[in-house]
Structure 1
Amino acid sequence: MNHALKPLLLASALLTASAVHAEVKVGFVGTLSGPSADVGRDQLDGFMLALEQLGGKLGGETATVVREDDQQKPEAALVAVNKLLERDKVDVITGLTFANVLMALQAKIASTDVPFVGSVAGPSAAAGAQCKPNLFVTSWQSDVPAEVVGKYLTDKSVKRIVTMTPSFVGGRDKIAGLKRLYKGEIVDEVYTPLSQLDFSAELTKLASQKPDAVYAFYPGGLGVTFVRQYQQAGLLGKIPLYTSNTIEGNALEAMGPAAVGAILGDTWSPGHPSDESRRFVEAFQKKHARLPSAYAAFSYDAAMLLDAALKTTKGNAADRKALSKAIAGATFKSVRGDFRFGNNNFPVQNYHIYTVARGTGGKPEFKMTEANVLKAHPDAYAAQCVAR
């Protein structure tokens, strides 16, 4: 070979490598249709708002987002993920709305080094024995928002409660979390089909049981229906309503006065007092003319996390294992304050109690009423994880 050509060939190879890494391709898989489509929509809108604020770049490289609707169906999610990995050649996948869908993807996630950064679903198995070095969750393990309510109920000496949730992985995780820290009596555990929209029979029975409180978890559009029917059944103000991830963002406006007085446990709501939270809420409302949910906030954080991780890799997303390592150790300013991943790639963070109160003009709004009920709190399954 002509030695004079070697520098030219080297320069060409470097330019080719640079071109390969000049774009970061993100696959978004979420529930964008059906009764709980609001959750997936908020995830997508939160992620895209962060990307817009980052100038359309992640780690300094231009980012494109390929979106797929899983229709809240595991089989549709698997088809979507296969397409994103094999045809679209994405560098990372985010979204991942419902726990049963995420659990159906476990074998596929294990078969690739591509990082998956979920921003809602946090099933217990994925946090424990089935944890993976390339699966991250920016929201929480599903039990924990209920754990903070369980502790609060115990601290307030609430003796007798009834629990209500859809019968799916995420709902059962919530009840498991509540039981972990609640020391009173659970009079009844009510599990309804995920598609059920009429709760009149269950609420009639609840009224007859006369518990000191009810803990309910109904995500997305189910939450709006449940809270409205709770008021219509005459239970508002009679049996205190405690919940996690039922009264969210724009759903609060749809619920209106029916939500006032409800008590929530979570790491973030629009009532979080941090500067990052206030800026995020203001920007989201300005762009979308609605209040963001925690799902939007966690997805916004997912984009900021990826930006921080890709800065560590100098924008190189091709080395999947290096990118996962960078995600695991990335630091960024979360809307919820202190945030880090535990050994299972699930958050270690603070959890608070919020109340829905009447705000300006009588409109309901979120108020943080007790901070750090659980502080720097890991989930209960991290000890079972040996993937990292």
Structure 2
Amino acid sequence: MQRSVFPPVTRRAWLTATAGTLALPGLARAQAAPVKIGLVTVLTGPQAAPGTHLRDGFLLGMRHLDNRIGGRPAEVLVIDDELRPDAAVTKVRAALERDRCDFIVGTLFSNILAAIIRPVTETQTFLLSPNAGPSPIAGRGCNPFFFATSYVNDQNHAVLGAAANDGIEVAGTVRPIRRVMIITPNYQAGRDAAAGFKSTFRGEVMDETYVPLTITDFSAELAQIASRRPDAIYTFMPGGLGVQFVRQYRQAGITIPVLSAFTVDEAVLPAQGDAALGLFTGTTWTPTLPNEQNTRFVGDFLTTFNYVPASYAAHAYDTAMLLDSAVRRTGGNLADKGALRAAIRAADFRSVRGPFRFGSNNFPVQDFWLARVGRRADGRLQTEHVRKVFENAVDPFAAECRMPAG
């Protein structure tokens, strides 16, 4: 992992802009004070790679905004949640109570989001997730102080179910997938992944296997796959799990196609190497999407951090741009929560994904793509869009949301 050009963030770091003049009275004085943002991600342990992408994407957004949000100076407190719900809650409470953060941005993992959403939103502080999107929060648990700039967990997986029905290119031939075996980790996002894939897949699910988040040896699962020979494997193995799974899959000599979401992405491709080439994923974004905002983002990210960004970075970058647009729309006023909520919902910014808006449950309405791992001209690996599978997709839980007043 290349070292960031920003200050070290082992525990926490401040990205600080000029504080402005603090002698102004009333609202003008408040608007001159820095906008404080707590950025929650995992920066230690085997899942630190995608967490680092999330952090660096947001910080690049801040750099493009000259370290200002809505014209006001901004400070970003980077919080390492350590992938521990108890640690995340403790640190987030400190960010709210001691550091007086105006917004919380995070998290990478759904179990961490589930732990912090109540402590954050009970204070009427807006929580914006650049990645985690558990289905309960998109449906009956929707919250007026929560916005996701990513997706509902199920959606990327539903892309692969639909794409499998239409056909996947294997050895130069497009063929439909009829029989699949599913393997995911045994936690909320893992079960959301399986549910999302099954919601659109019309073929036979031969078996579903749920493994511990701490698994390192997939030999038993791969042996079963090899013996039963499905048309394809569907898997969700984020971060370090994906590195181990893909490496062991190739080492086992299995040639069955792998369909996935978050198993192969730019956060883990450097560690997976050529073992990941040709594997498919479902996504909202790739570095190859042809729009001006995305071209600038990818180019500047590579120049600044010297690695290819993943969707975690792209969504976090969009989150910075969304916050800037919302605060600018309110004239820098953070006190009127209703006006600020309406300004966030307006999503008046240019996304690296192209078309983007919020649905009734504060989750995006956006396009989804089938993508495949390929090699860049510079030799590095990246995901590359193959075809659009869903256009202006509304998640399946939006109809269950009855947004409470707040």
Q: Structure 2 residue aligned with 1:247, among 264, 267, 275? A: 264
What CA distance in whole angstroms lies between the structure 1 residues aligned with 2:197 and 2:334? 39
Shift of 1:363: 4.5
- TM-score computed with the length of structure 1 as normaliser: 0.93
Match of 2:403 in 1: 387
Residues 98-126 of structure 1, C-alpha deviations (whole Å, 9 max, x = no match): 11111122332441211101101000001
Alignment of 1:174-323 (within 5 A): 174-235=193-254, 238-323=255-340
What CA distance in whole angstroms lies between the structure 2 residues aligned with 1:327 and 1:354? 29
Paired AA for residue 393 in structure 2: H
Given the superposition, is the C-alpha separation of residues 20 and 83 from structure 1 closer, same or farther in structure 2, using an over 3 Å criterion? same
Paired AA for residue 350 in structure 2: K
Given the superposition, is the C-alpha separation of residues 362 and 110 from structure 1 closer, same or farther in structure 2, using an over 3 Å criterion? closer
What CA distance in whole angstroms lies between the structure 2 residues aligned with 1:293 and 1:205? 31
Match of 1:160 in 2: 179
What CA distance in whole angstroms lies between the structure 1 residues aligned with 2:327 and 2:187? 35
Shift of 1:361: 6.5
- TM-score computed with the length of structure 2 as normaliser: 0.89
What CA distance in whole angstroms lies between the structure 2 residues aligned with 1:385 and 1:34? 35
SS of the equivalent of 2:153 reads coil
Paired AA for residue 33 in structure 1: T
Residues 40-83 of structure 1, C-alpha deviations (whole Å, 9 max, x = no match): 21111000001001101010000001121111111111111211
Match of 1:335 in 2: 352
What CA distance in whole angstroms lies between the structure 2 residues aligned with 1:173 and 1:56? 36
Gaps of 5+ in 2: 1-21, 168-175
Paired AA for residue 289 in structure 1: N
> For the Cα contact (< 8 Å) 1:219–1:245, is it kept in 2?
yes
> For the Cα contact (< 8 Å) 2:330–2:340, is it kept in 1?
yes
Match of 1:15 in 2: 25
Paired AA for residue 70 in structure 2: G
What is the aligned-residue RMSD (CA, Å)?
Answer: 1.6
- Count of residues in correspondence between the two structures: 374
Shift of 1:318: 3.0
Shift of 1:14: 5.9
> For the Cα contact (< 8 Å) 1:350–1:377, is it kept in 2?
yes
Provide runs of 4+ in structure 1 moved above 6 Å.
Answer: none
Residues 1-50 of structure 1, C-alpha deviations (whole Å, 9 max, x = no match): xxxxxxxxxxx996243222221010111111121111221111000001
1:375 is aligned to 2:391: yes
Residues 347-381 of structure 1, C-alpha deviations (whole Å, 9 max, x = no match): 1100011111344376533321112x111001110
SS of the equivalent of 1:21 reads helix
Gaps of 5+ in 1: 1-11
> For the Cα contact (< 8 Å) 2:148–2:362, is it kept in 1?
yes
Match of 2:126 in 1: 115
SS of the equivalent of 1:117 reads strand
Shift of 1:253: 2.2
Paired AA for residue 201 in structure 1: A
SS of the equivalent of 2:371 reads strand
What CA distance in whole angstroms lies between the structure 2 residues aligned with 1:347 and 1:189? 29
Q: Structure 2 residue aligned with 1:365, among 382, 391, 397? A: 382
What CA distance in whole angstroms lies between the structure 2 residues aligned with 1:263 and 1:244? 8
Paired AA for residue 355 in structure 2: D
SS of the equivalent of 2:104 reads strand
Shift of 1:311: 0.6
Shift of 1:335: 0.4
SS of the equivalent of 2:156 reads helix
Residues 243-279 of structure 1, C-alpha deviations (whole Å, 9 max, x = no match): 1112111421221110111011111022222222121
Q: Structure 2 residue aligned with 1:79, among 79, 90, 95? A: 90
SS of the equivalent of 2:27 reads helix
Return 271-280 or 51-60, whichever deviates more.
271-280
SS of the equivalent of 1:132 reads coil
What CA distance in whole angstroms lies between the structure 2 residues aligned with 1:185 and 1:279? 43
What CA distance in whole angstroms lies between the structure 2 residues aligned with 1:361 and 1:313? 43
> For the Cα contact (< 8 Å) 1:91–1:318, is it kept in 2?
no
Match of 1:29 in 2: 40
Higher helix share: 1
Shift of 1:233: 1.1
Alignment of 1:31-180 (within 5 A): 31-156=42-167, 157-180=176-199
Paired AA for residue 319 in structure 2: A
